[in-house]
């Protein structure tokens, strides 16, 4: 198992010229979104071209567009992207996080961290204009002065696939049923 290393903005600047700190405790609140003014279908096609797949089961956010998208990074990490519709402004907000893949049972209680730069790289590669929105301050970020260094550690128990766990549980159940029936 490997660790996942990423960065997240710490000290940011705004149009009015003032700076704000994103505290370590605030990172999980995920105040930052990448805002794009592009058609939903174009953005979805971009994600699919980058190797993302639609997520079947997830906790949906109130203004979320359809299902989210996930892409396996390296075992056991995946990046999960949600698109949020901001109809009144004609914008789409992109929020993303890195977490243990939903293929593994540890996904349920895994560590996760919101990410900005990984999605920013994709948008730049496809020449999609974007702005970073800070929902806490309610303003666009114009500059990032420095970053938090985030290290996600894998669980101590090796990642176990759901399929293996279901097979294992079914085998134990079958043995217990045969024992109860007097076959063993």
Cβ contacts of 22-29, under 8 Å, gap ≥ 24 = 22/148, 24/148, 26/136, 27/113, 27/114, 27/148, 27/150, 28/113, 28/114, 29/136
Higher pLDDT, 26 or 171: 26
On whether residue 173 sits in a domain, the answer given is no
On whether residue 182 sits in a domain, the answer given is no
On whether residue 165 sits in a domain, the answer given is no
Binned at pLDDT 50, 70 and 90, residue 20 comes out as confident
The number of folded domains in the chain is 1
On whether residue 172 sits in a domain, the answer given is no
pLDDT, tens digit, 9 for 90 and up, residues 25-58: 888 777 789 999 988 889 999 999 999 999 887 7
pLDDT score at 51: 92
Q: List phi, psi (to 5°) of 141.
A: -85, 130
pLDDT at 92 over 60: yes
pLDDT score at 127: 93
The domain in which residue 105 lies consists of: 4-156
∠ CA 102-103-107, rounded to 5°? 40
Binned at pLDDT 50, 70 and 90, residue 164 comes out as low
On whether residue 176 sits in a domain, the answer given is no
Binned at pLDDT 50, 70 and 90, residue 135 comes out as confident
On whether residue 144 sits in a domain, the answer given is yes
Binned at pLDDT 50, 70 and 90, residue 182 comes out as confident
On whether residue 62 sits in a domain, the answer given is yes
Judge residue 56's burial from the number of C-beta atoms within 10 Å of its C-beta, 0-12 exposed, 13-18 middle, 19 or more buried.
exposed
Binned at pLDDT 50, 70 and 90, residue 110 comes out as low
On whether residue 67 sits in a domain, the answer given is yes
DSSP 8-state code for residue 67 = S
Count the Cβ atoms, other than its own, within 10 Å of residue 157: 9
Strongest mean pLDDT among 10-24, 68-82, 112-126, 165-179: 112-126
In SS3 terms, 133-180 reads as EECCCCEEEEEEEEEEEEEECCCCCCCCEHHHHHHHHHHHHHHHHHHH
Dist. CA 85–CA 62, nearest whole Å: 9
pLDDT score at 120: 94
DSSP 8-state code for residue 56 = S
Preceding amide of 154 cis, omega within 30: no
């Amino acid at each position: 198992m490997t660790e996942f290393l990423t960065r997240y903005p710490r000290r940011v600047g705004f149009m009015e010229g003032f700076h704000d700190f994103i505290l370590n405790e605030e990172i999980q609140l995920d105040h930052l979104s990448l805002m794009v003014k592009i058609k939903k279908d174009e953005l979805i096609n971009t994600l699919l071209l980058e190797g993302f797949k639609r997520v079947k089961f997830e906790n949906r956010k109130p203004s979320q567009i359809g299902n989210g998208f996930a892409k396996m990074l390296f075992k056991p990490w995946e990046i999960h992207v949600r698109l949020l519709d901001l109809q009144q402004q004609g914008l789409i907000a992109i929020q993303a996080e890195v977490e243990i893949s939903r293929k593994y049972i540890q996904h349920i209680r895994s560590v996760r961290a919101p990410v900005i730069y990984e999605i920013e790289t994709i948008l730049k590669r496809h020449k999609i204009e974007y702005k970073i929105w800070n929902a806490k301050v309610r303003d666009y970020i114009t500059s990032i002065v420095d970053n938090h260094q985030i290290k996600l550690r894998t669980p101590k128990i090796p990642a176990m696939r759901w399929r293996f766990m279901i097979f294992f549980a079914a085998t134990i159940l079958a043995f217990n049923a045969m024992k109860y029936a007097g076959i063993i």
